[in-house]
Structure 1
Amino acid sequence: MALLGVLVRAVIIVVAAAAAVSGSGLPVPGFDGLAIGFYHETCPQAEDLVLAEMREIVQEDRTLAPALLRFMLHDCFVRGCDASIMLKSREKIGERDANSSYSLRGYEQIERIKAKLEDECPMTVSCADIIVMAARDAVFLSNGPRYQVETGRRDGKVSCTIDADNDLPPPGSNIVDLKIYFSVKNLGWKDLVVLSGSHTIGRAQCGSFARDRLYNYSGEGRQDPSLNTAYAPELRKACVAGDPFDKTYVDMDPGSPYTFDLSYYRDVYSNRGLFVSDQALLNDRWTRQYVERMASADSTDEYFRDYAEAMTNMGRIEVLTGDNGEIRKVCGAYVD
Structure 2
Amino acid sequence: MASKRFEFLLGLCLLLVINMASAQLSSTFYATSCPKALSTIKSAVDSAVSNEARMGASLLRLHFHDCFVNGCDGSILLDDTANMTGEKTAGPNNNSVRGFGVIDTIKSQVESLCPGVVSCADIVAVAARDSVVALGGPSWNVLLGRRDSATASLSAANSNIPAPTLSLSGLISAFSNKGFTAKEMVALSGSHTIGQARCTTFRTRIYNETNINSAFATSLRGKCPSTGGDNNLSPLDTTSPTSFDNAYFKNLQSQKGLLHSDQQLFSGGSTDSQVNAYSSNSGSFTTDFANAMVKMGNLSPLTGTSGQIRKNCRKAN
- Using the size of structure 1 for normalisation, the TM-score is 0.84
Give me the whole-angstrom Cα distance separating, in 2, the residues matched to 1:237 and 1:94.
35
Letter in 2 for 1:93: T
Deviations 1:135-183 (A, max 9, x none): 0000000001122111111101111211111111100100111111111
Alignment of 1:15-94 (within 5 A): 31-91=22-82, 93-94=85-86
Query: After TM superposition, which residue ranges in structure 1, 4 or more long, deviate above 4 angstroms?
Result: 283-286
Q: TM (normalized to structure 2)?
A: 0.89
One-letter amino acid matched to 1:320: L
Q: Unpaired segments of 5 or more residues in structure 1?
A: 1-28, 216-222
Summarize the alignment of residues 1-336 of structure 1 with structure 2, pairs less than 5 Å apart: 31-91=22-82, 93-102=85-94, 103-211=96-204, 213-215=205-207, 223-241=208-226, 243=228, 246-283=230-267, 286-297=270-281, 300-333=282-315
Distance 1:294 1:188 in 2: 16
Instruction: Summarize deviations over 1:101-127 as a string: whole Å, max 9, x none.
Output: 111111111111111110111111100
Report how many aligned residue pairs link the two structures: 296
Task: Return the letter of the residue paired with 2:103.
Answer: I
Tell me: CA distance 1:99–1:125, structure 2 relative to 1, closer, same or farther (3 Å).
Answer: same
| Secondary structure at 2:184 match in 1 | helix
Identity of aligned residues (%): 37
Query: Structure 1 residues 208, 154: CA separation in 2 closer, same or farther (over 3 Å shift)?
Result: same
Distance across 2 between alignment mates of 1:180 and 1:284 = 18
State how far apart, in whole Å, the 1-side matches of 2:227 and 2:268 are. 28
Post-superposition offset of 1:284: 6.8
What SS class does the counterpart of residue 99 from structure 1 fall into?
A: coil
Q: Unpaired segments of 5 or more residues in structure 2?
A: 1-19
Pairwise CA distance, 1:305? 1.1
**Following the alignment from structure 2 to structure 1, what is the Cα–Cα distance between the partners of residues 297 and 153?**
20
Distance 1:276 1:61 in 2: 26
Give the SS at the match of 2:222.
helix
Instruction: Give the counterpart letter for 2:61 in structure 1.
Output: R
State the Cα deviation string for residues 180-236 of structure 1 (Å, max 9, x = none): 11111111112210010000011111011112x023xxxxxxx21111122110111
Moved more, 168-177 or 280-289: 280-289
Conserved in 1, the CA contact under 8 Å of 2:33 and 2:114? Answer: yes
How many Å apart are 1:99 and its aligned residue? 2.1
Q: CA deviation at 1:55?
A: 1.1
- For 1:242 and 1:154, how far apart are their aligned partners in 2? 44
- Distance in 1, matches of 2:251 and 2:128, equals 23
Write the distance in 2 (CA, Å) between the matches of 1:316 and 1:334.
22
- Give the Cα separation in 1 of the matches to 2:185 and 2:313: 28
Query: CA–CA distance in 2 between the matches of 1:287 and 1:194?
Result: 11
**Does the 8 Å contact 1:140/1:146 carry over to 2?**
yes
Higher mean displacement: 202-211 or 277-286: 277-286
Deviations 1:275-315 (A, max 9, x none): 11111112475521110012123xx3222211110101111
